Chain A
């Protein structure tokens, strides 16, 4: 294992052939396009993107479930398309938001069976199962038939299944989808602990929760419409926007001041305005913080009172807006109306 890369992709692409009704011509859908990424061993890597961005498709390619239509990918040192049998013993995968598993088997039986498929000694496997269930707070449900579990608990069981085989590279597709706040927090904590216990472990997760990506991931790739738009640490991604300083200012009524007038100031890059009760809320991008003085001058000239002032820290959401030109929510509703 001299290779320090856990995941490496080059020009990876995937096109789905869609079969509509017979009259309709066959359409093609580009789900992934020219994806080139590298993930180091020991990294927690996040794929962030709206619905339909291609996150699950990428995971399916990387876990050998789906062949790419162009490019190549290596996971744990082996080619996912040509050498799936070398990749599979080293990985595992969990999809959130679905309840898989054999409902008539107990939690423990479900997990034990999978451990046996990976060739783990039975006794060790049982100890591990108990320890992991303990960690996610499910030990008391060990002998419950999995059909009797709530959706959230089933998902936790599934997550335990992923960790159980101690993979070199673990893929989690929306692991916290559909979980309540507490359970999501448990899962995130669990992920971090698992990674901390062994620096060689690598984890790739997808999410469309900005905060989750920001809080958890060492590096994040922002993906939209099958393309990777940016890939860096969350702080470096936000740093890109940091050059501009953003303020949110609430004021009394405007007395004729327009966003255009505001933007005509040399150090004001962008001014956006929304009405609020008894006044207005400005969102201003300034070249540097000192430009705030000019803005206040302008307000004073028009006899506008400043009621509230906030310096906004950029979020990954802002990074997304900057890259795509729209918010992730807008992108998703657009995707839905198109599809």
Chain B
């Protein structure tokens, strides 16, 4: 009974999310959105890097930046996607209250809404990386890739991001205004603190602990290591840790944040019922 409730919440949410996400009347626009947008994002970064480094693409820093940026697409897609479902359903479709009174698990429903974003995000990540390998000589060699580590890390990370999304969804639920901002702001902050496009060592020493506390830091590091092993070790931040140690830290932090997320969501959920915010619309 319980598993079937969870399953139908998840399945139907994923179905709905996919219809919403892929419902472009114009396939051409859909292609632009899912291909051109991430590529142009990467292009801006490459150009900036080219200017600053004087056109030297042969340092370990370049694949570091390029891959970090590519996988960071998942943060915007999955984490923000899950929390955005609250805004979408409450403000835009005005269905959140009907979801709430339906016999489903709202957290599972929200996670399900992130599935479609995971799929489109994966396409974007893939295309970005392929473009990097083909045109920018990102040193990715088929034979050297640690596939096992890569997939374990990827899946663990996506689950972690979805749970972080749930945390943001909870906070979003209790905020009646400017709620769309929460996901973007968090994604922006994580971009800086997780060593996505520059190693943590670049940051002032007193800020670094924030990065060490974020599971995304270890996630991105492991993804880089699994794809371009030795290059990733050129940076001192986490060089002392083995892959397995980092995986352990990532797992530990993911469980920690997962538990916190579920707890925060439950708390926010009861606050929202307390204050009558579940069907609150601001009519923006």
Interface residues of B (CB under 8 A from A): 4-5, 8-9, 11-12, 15-16, 19-20, 23, 93-95, 97-104, 270, 273-276, 278-279
Contacts and interface: CB of A to CB of B under 8 A. Distances in A.
A65 B273 contact: yes
Given A66-B273, A100-B98, A113 B93 contact: no
A98 B94 contact: yes
B94 to A, nearest CB: 4
B19 A92 contact: no
A334 B11 CA distance: 49
A100 B94 contact: yes
Contact of A88 (B15, B101, B278): B101
A117 B273 contact: no
Interface stretch (A102-110, A261-269, A273-281): A102-110
A27 to B, nearest CB: 15
A232 to B, nearest CB: 29
22 contacts: A17-B275, A57-B276, A60-B276, A65-B97, A66-B273, A66-B276, A66-B278, A67-B274, A88-B101, A89-B103, A93-B98, A95-B97, A98-B94, A100-B94, A100-B98, A102-B16, A102-B95, A113-B16, A114-B102, A117-B8, A117-B9, A117-B103
Nearest to B24: A104
Interface of A: 16-17, 57, 60, 63-67, 85, 88-89, 91-93, 95, 98-105, 109, 113-114, 116-119, 161
A103 B93 contact: yes
Contacts of A101: 93-95
A109 B19 contact: yes
Contacts of B102: 88, 114, 117-118
Nearest to A89: B103
Given A91-B101, A102-B20, A119-B4, A65 B93 contact: no
A64 B5 CA distance: 18
A65 B100 contact: yes
Given A88-B102, A117-B102, A16 B276 contact: yes
A18 to B, nearest CB: 11
Given A63-B101, A89-B103, 18 more contacts: A16-B276, A88-B101, A92-B101, A93-B97, A100-B94, A101-B93, A101-B95, A102-B19, A104-B20, A109-B19, A113-B12, A116-B8, A116-B12, A117-B102, A117-B103, A117-B104, A118-B102, A161-B98
A68 to B, nearest CB: 10
Contacts of B16: 102, 105, 113
B103 A85 contact: yes
A105 to B, nearest CB: 6
Q: Which 7 A-B pairs have the closest CB atoms?
A: A100-B94, A89-B103, A117-B102, A104-B23, A66-B276, A88-B103, A116-B12
B100 to A, nearest CB: 6
Nearest to A100: B94
A119 B101 contact: no
A113 to B, nearest CB: 6
A93 B270 CA distance: 20
Nearest to B103: A89
A117 to B, nearest CB: 4
B101 A64 contact: yes
Contacts of A60: 276, 279
